[in-house]
């Protein structure tokens, strides 16, 4: 039997690009967690003919169809009519939803217009899915071989009906067994290299899949294991994780929900260390990332964004000779900035970033994308130079992540 799932979102505001369709991704994520495989996600206009064609395609290729949108009170809202037509029944007013609307309108002193009645209709014979967050009820109908669930497009109402009414019904349908997921967060290795190193990792293993995602300049790899036996799923995932770690080594900085700044915070806490930052081309981005972590004030003392050379000299003690002889974007300047901010703040480690974010300011010797990062601390001062060709925002992101990596690895046996 066909086990595809289709999500259909209806509305001109989607096909004109006025809003981003977050309902589809919400439903897809929840369905995946329940063990369903979403194969199709379709958006179509409010036009009745388009809705009809979309539903006809869906009922041919999916056994489960989730529909969002087109259940409102206006003439534009035609979802109930089209579904009723395809199911060979009439739309009819749902008495409990009507009673709720009358009661609510009465309380607020509103008059019921004929259009309002449109909003409380369902196809005759449909199973009604009460809406505890709004007026239009959801409903469930049989559509050929497929089971169809319809919800309003307002995200708050859709989520409420899905959680209250649809999820419990779907749980009863899911195949016995369990899904276990592990996500690796990777920095310092490109997607094609990760893929190369993990080649064959999951081949020939039933129910196992591997998924890649770029979150520039980081990468994510997700392992998914499905097994009838939850304990076996756990064990198999554990074995795969061990193997993936052996192949990717320290390029994995964290798993599941841990962000790179949070992993850096974990390292600093583990060392009982404090941090000070001296940023030039990143302009404050490293501080913004570091302070994205709740509780970062425990280890982050201060930052200096020394955009001008005067600030580098006056606040960080960079020597005028260094700036004159080698310029602000140089190894020597980055080292002096790191040491300077460490001393200024009395921090365990000081980290500095200097570079040319572009689009202007590049020279043949120091092209746009030239980045110097330095870290000063109890194990000495270290430096790294990078060259990244990209736009201003990308160069800033690459430089900021290189700085995070310098902190993350400072105490490593082989940094």
Residue numbers 332-361 binding a second copy by CB under 8 A: 344-346, 357-360
The smaller minimum CB distance to a second copy, of residues 205 and 310, is found at 310
The smaller minimum CB distance to a second copy, of residues 169 and 314, is found at 314
**Does the protein bind a second copy through residue 131 (CB under 8 A)?**
no
- Contact assessment for residue 329 and residue 307, using Cβ atoms and an 8 Å cutoff: no
**Does the protein bind a second copy through residue 248 (CB under 8 A)?**
no
Binding mask 152-171 for a second copy (x = CB under 8 A): --x-x---------------
Residue choice 89, 302, 327, 331 for contact with a second copy (CB under 8 A)? 302
The smaller minimum CB distance to a second copy, of residues 122 and 347, is found at 347
Residue choice 91, 201, 247, 307 for contact with a second copy (CB under 8 A)? 307
Query: Both tokens of residue 339?
Result: 């040491």
**Does the protein bind a second copy through residue 188 (CB under 8 A)?**
no
Tell me which stretch binds a second copy (CB under 8 A): 228-236, 306-314, 318-326, 374-382. 306-314
- Binding residues for a second copy restricted to 200-239, rule: CB under 8 A: 209, 211-214, 216, 222
The smaller minimum CB distance to a second copy, of residues 88 and 200, is found at 200
Tell me 163's DSSP state: I
Cβ-defined contacts of 93-100 (< 8 Å, 24+): 93/117, 93/120, 93/121, 94/120, 94/121, 94/122, 94/128, 94/137, 94/139, 96/128, 96/130, 96/137, 97/128, 97/130, 97/131, 97/135, 97/136, 97/137, 100/135
Residue choice 104, 142, 171, 228 for contact with a second copy (CB under 8 A)? 104
Report the distance separating Cα 116 and Cα 101, nearest Å: 9
Classify residue 258 by burial, with Cβ atoms within 10 Å: 0-12, 13-18, 19+.
Answer: middle
**Does the protein bind a second copy through residue 387 (CB under 8 A)?**
yes
Query: Both tokens of residue 69?
Result: 């949108």
Instruction: Give Dmax over CA atoms of the chain in angstroms.
Output: 86
Q: Dihedral sign, CA of 12, 14, 17, 19? A: positive
């Amino acid at each position: 039997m066909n086990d595809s799932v289709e999500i259909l979102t209806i509305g001109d505001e989607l096909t004109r690009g006025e809003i981003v369709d977050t309902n589809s991704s919400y439903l897809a994520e929840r369905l995946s967690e329940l063990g369903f495989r979403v194969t199709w996600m379709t958006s179509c206009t409010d036009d009745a003919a388009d809705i009809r064609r979309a539903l006809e395609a869906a009922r041919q290729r999916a056994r489960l169809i989730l529909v969002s949108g087109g259940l409102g009170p206006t003439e534009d809202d035609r979802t109930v009519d089209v579904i009723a037509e395809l199911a060979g029944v009439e739309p009819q007013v749902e008495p409990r939803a009507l009673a709720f609307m009358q009661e609510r309108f009465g309380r607020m002193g509103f008059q019921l217009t004929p259009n309002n009645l449109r909003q409380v209709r369902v196809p005759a014979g449909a199973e009604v899915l009460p809406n505890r967050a709004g007026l239009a009820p959801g409903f469930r109908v049989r559509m050929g071989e497929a089971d169809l669930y319809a919800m309003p497009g307002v995200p708050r109402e859709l989520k409420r009906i899905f959680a209250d009414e649809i999820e419990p019904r779907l749980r009863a349908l899911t195949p016995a067994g369990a899904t276990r997921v592990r996500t690796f967060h990777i920095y310092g290795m490109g997607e094609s290299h990760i893929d190369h190193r993990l080649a064959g990792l999951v081949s020939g293993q039933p129910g196992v899949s591997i998924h890649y995602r770029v979150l520039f300049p980081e990468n994510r790899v997700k392992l998914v294991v499905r097994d009838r036996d939850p304990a076996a799923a756990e064990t198999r995932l554990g074995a795969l994780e061990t193997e993936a770690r052996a192949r990717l080594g320290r390029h994995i900085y964290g798993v599941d929900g841990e962000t790179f700044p949070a992993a850096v915070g974990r390292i600093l806490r583990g060392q009982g260390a404090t941090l000070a930052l001296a940023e030039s081309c990143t302009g404050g981005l490293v501080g913004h990332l570091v302070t994205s972590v709740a509780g970062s004030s425990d280890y982050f003392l201060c930052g200096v964004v020394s955009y001008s050379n005067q600030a580098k000299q006056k606040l960080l003690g960079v020597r005028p000779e260094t700036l004159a002889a080698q310029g602000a974007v140089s190894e020597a300047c980055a080292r002096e900035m790191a040491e300077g901010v460490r001393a200024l703040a009395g921090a365990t480690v000081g980290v500095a970033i200097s570079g040319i974010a572009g689009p202007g300011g590049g020279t043949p010797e120091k092209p746009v994308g030239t980045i110097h990062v330095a870290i000063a601390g109890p194990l000495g001062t270290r430096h790294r130079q990078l060259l990244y060709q990209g736009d201003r925002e990308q160069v800033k992101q690459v430089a900021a992540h290189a700085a995070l990596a310098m902190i993350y690895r400072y105490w490593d046996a082989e940094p």
